[in-house]
Amino acid sequence: MPSLTFQAQQYRRQIWYFLDNNIDDSATFAAERLVALNPDDAASRHLLSLCHLRAQRYKLAMQVANEQKHIGCIYVYATCCLKLGKYRLGCRTLERMRPAWPKTCHIYSHDDNERQVLPDLAAIQSLLGDLYRNFGDAKEATECYSTALSINPFIWSALEGLCKLGVNLRLSNIYRVTPAMLAARATWLDHAEHEVSGIENSQHRDPFVSDDSSLLSQAQQPFLSRVENVQHRLFSPDSTDVDGDLQMAGSSTSSNNAVTTSTPASPDPRSRHSSRPQQPLPPRAPDALRRSATTATTAATAAASATAPSVSERRSSRLTSAAVATPTSQSQTGSVRGRLRSGLLKNTKPGAPSATAAVPPPISSDESSRRDDPVTVKVVPDDGERIEAEACMLSLYETLATGVHALSRFDCKSALQSLESLPVVQQDSPYVLSKIGRAYFETVRYTEAEACFVRLREIDPMRVEDMEIYSTLLWHLRKDVELAFLARELIDIDRYSPQAWIAIGNSFSLQKEHDQALKCFRRASHLDPTFAYPYTLQGHEYVANEEYESAQNAFRLAMRADWRHYNAWYGIGMLFLKTGKFQLAEQHFRQAALINPANAVLICCIGMVLEKLERFDEALQQYEIACGLQPASAMPRFKKARLLMSMRKYSECLAELRIVKNLAPDESSVHYLLGRLYKAQGDRQNAIKHFTAALNLDPKASHVIKEAIEGLQSED
């Protein structure tokens, strides 16, 4: 019988083969055999739990990884907690095992041929941020996301998490070369040497067995010290450095304190910290990371000497090469290494910064005949193109992040400027098209928004993300045929997606079948309880059925799922307005406007409540703000004109109504108000003219308009 070590090695190779080729059942079967060989081996349990995770058997994965101190098991366990909605448990598990967290960054340790089996520090911080955000702890989530981005700025989910929390970001300080990237550049040229060393040691070491990573940790310690000092400078509350990265919404920024962190203006209803003041704190890091600031000055020098992660931490297809070099033959090793670098990497271009050729290994006397071998000299390639590609990627991410961040703060004009400045090939991608369409939708530019979503459906007809916005857009445009067709397509693509059921519900709602729409929206919220939008749509349908108590509960569920979902704040505000609770309506409208300050509808709603409270001057001010936000919109100007009419400011009212008539010439209410205005001014001819126009445009309101005309005749 072969030893258990070689049996385990064979099993692990097959398991990774199955996982890389998506043969999940075979991977799980082999992983069970591996665990049976040594049930106490944490690395084997990690593989089995990973197989269950890949097959979406989350509870099984948690059971296998439970009570293990292996970082891979901990990461799989916390990931399953996120998938199953056990956010508190996932946070506790990761926090309890903080001493076992890796102190490394694998930002440049993955490619088509090599993988890192275990997660690095940035990945763990990002996962912990997701758990805290879903749990409702905005402060802890912000710290975790910011730490992850300070290590690896390409973790897009961390950036989106900060945007969902309503954090103010200084993106130029995020998307730049980080200490981790500087430290990882030293490993760019180590892949060829690693290949040679892997060939030499492939018969003596198992590349898939996890062992002590102290060597890797020592190699990354200079990077860690620099990251810790950078984070302390960026996120400390009393920092005076201009390199700060972010601040929470609602916090003030001074000239000598570039960035501070604080909680959002309105606490998350689910947050366990919402009952106490939240003071800005620097992000936590393991105690092992806290080192003297003097260490950071030596990071670049130490990083250059830091070696790549050990062979046991990688799984490389190149390690199984059949070509085995003789360890005693240094000339042959140098020859192989030289051929690898000459064949895989580009030589220095003429005119580029001079590169220093590495000194060839010593040649013994019995190998003097090989002095004429030209490939024994290792050629150091020019890294200019790699650095240029890295800078290009950072620039692209910064532009995308600028647009997405602006959109999350409902600054749609800035979002459109950033997203439309992208290269054409990037603008025509599904993700960017969805964000541009969303920006147009929020600014009530429905024609442009529809064009974006139509194009998105052309290039990605299987996409279900963001289709709830498209279906609501078609609802506003009253395109029932297109909406029904979209709902049918989405249900064929994925009948278990909440977006599909939202589209079906919108289709029923457009046909005034509110009960059927409610069933669909409830189905959508059941499929994804963390999705706020289906609850809001339920609330609107309940209002249409005059079931106000049920509507209030639905809106509150939406606010619980996402406290920044301004639609729910608006919906419950309208509910209170209908029921005469004006003080509560004002509070909810103001909160909605705090989240989305560029929405003229919300500002007009505040003005309507103030009118009900007979605070006419404040209401007029709100209408003026709304007119400034959307000069081409007729609604805020009409409300302003109506208020001026009630305040007997006839000349100002007439000026506004003339503008409104040009914006909406076929609106009967505009002509009716003009008739009343001319009647008040004693202009009988113009009054009859506009009353008649209103009667022709809206025959259903004939009794009201006829009463006004009869009143005018009785005065005569």
Give residue 108's Cα distance to chain centre: 22
- Domain limit, last residue, from 285, 313, 341: 313
- Domain limit, last residue, from 280, 313, 346: 313
Segment 101-129 mean pLDDT:
89
Which residue did the predictor score with more confidence, 306 or 384?
384
Which residue did the predictor score with more confidence, 202 or 82?
82
For the stretch 516-526, pLDDT in tens is 999 999 999 99
Most trustworthy range by pLDDT among 98-107, 524-533, 700-709: 524-533
Assess if residue 579 is contained within a domain: no
Which residue did the predictor score with more confidence, 497 or 330?
497
Segment 108-123 mean pLDDT:
86
Q: What is residue 321's predicted lDDT score, i.e. its pLDDT?
A: 33
- The tokens for 401 are 């992040």
Q: Is the pLDDT of residue 232 over 60?
A: no
Q: What stretch of H or E contains 115?
A: strand 114-116
Q: What is residue 188's predicted lDDT score, i.e. its pLDDT?
A: 64
* Enclosing domain of residue 177: 4-313
Reported as a pLDDT band with limits 50, 70 and 90, residue 458 is very high
Most trustworthy range by pLDDT among 99-103, 120-124, 211-215, 258-262: 120-124
Q: What is the number of other CB atoms lying within 10 angstroms of the CB of residue 461? A: 9
Q: What is the pLDDT of the chain when averaged over all its residues?
A: 77
Assess if residue 269 is contained within a domain: yes
Segment 115-134 mean pLDDT:
93
Assess if residue 111 is contained within a domain: yes
Terminus-to-terminus CA distance in the chain, angstroms? 116
Segment 24-43 mean pLDDT:
93
Place of tokens 């069970």: 32
Segment 293-318 mean pLDDT:
36
Q: Is the pLDDT of residue 260 over 90?
A: no
Which residue did the predictor score with more confidence, 250 or 147?
147
- Domain limit, last residue, from 284, 313, 342: 313
Reported as a pLDDT band with limits 50, 70 and 90, residue 196 is very low
DSSP-H helix ranges across 409-479: 412-419, 424-427, 430-442, 446-459, 467-476
Q: How far apart are CA 208 and CA 118, in angstroms?
A: 11
Q: What share of the chain is helix, strand, coil (3-state, %, to 5)?
A: 65, 0, 30
Task: Name the residue among 418, 489, 419 with its Cα closest to residue 460.
Answer: 489
For the stretch 269-296, pLDDT in tens is 333 333 333 333 333 333 333 333 333 3
Segment 462-476 mean pLDDT:
96
Half-sphere exposure of 292 (CA within 13 A, CB side): 4
Domain with residue 219: its CATH number is 1.25.40.10
Q: What is the percentage of the chain residues whose pLDDT exceeds 70?
A: 72
Q: Is the pLDDT of residue 51 over 80?
A: yes
Q: What is residue 1's predicted lDDT score, i.e. its pLDDT?
A: 62
- Asked which of 119-133, 183-197, 307-321, 447-461 is least confident by mean pLDDT, the reply is 307-321
Q: Is the pLDDT of residue 207 over 50?
A: no
Q: What is residue 339's predicted lDDT score, i.e. its pLDDT?
A: 35
Which residue did the predictor score with more confidence, 274 or 21?
21
Q: What is residue 694's predicted lDDT score, i.e. its pLDDT?
A: 87
Q: What stretch of H or E contains 316?
A: strand 314-316
- What's the CA angle centered on 88, arms 85 and 89, to 5 degrees? 85
Which residue did the predictor score with more confidence, 365 or 185?
185
Q: What is residue 382's predicted lDDT score, i.e. its pLDDT?
A: 55
Q: Which residues contact 496 (CB under 8 A, 6 or more apart)?
A: 527
Q: What is residue 716's predicted lDDT score, i.e. its pLDDT?
A: 53
For the stretch 333-383, pLDDT in tens is 333 333 333 333 333 333 333 333 333 444 444 444 444 444 444 434 457
Q: Which residues contact 642 (CB under 8 A, 6 or more apart)?
A: 653, 673
- The tokens for 331 are 């000339």
DSSP-H helix ranges across 236-322: 293-296, 299-305
Q: What is residue 368's predicted lDDT score, i.e. its pLDDT?
A: 43
Q: What is residue 691's predicted lDDT score, i.e. its pLDDT?
A: 86
Q: What is residue 541's predicted lDDT score, i.e. its pLDDT?
A: 95
CA dihedral 6, 10, 16, 19 (to 10 degrees): -140
Q: What is residue 682's predicted lDDT score, i.e. its pLDDT?
A: 84
- Count how many domains the chain has: 2
- Asked which of 12-26, 78-92, 342-356, 682-696 is least confident by mean pLDDT, the reply is 342-356
Reported as a pLDDT band with limits 50, 70 and 90, residue 182 is confident
Q: How far apart are CA 663 and CA 665, in angstroms?
A: 6
Assess if residue 290 is contained within a domain: yes
Strand, coil or helix: 366:
helix
Assess if residue 45 is contained within a domain: yes
List residues bridging with 116 in a β-sheet. Answer: 314
Contacts 24+ apart (CB under 8 A), 203-208: 203/324, 205/311, 205/312, 206/5, 206/8, 206/9, 206/12, 206/312, 207/311, 207/312, 207/314, 207/315, 207/316, 207/319, 208/9, 208/12, 208/13, 208/16, 208/117, 208/315
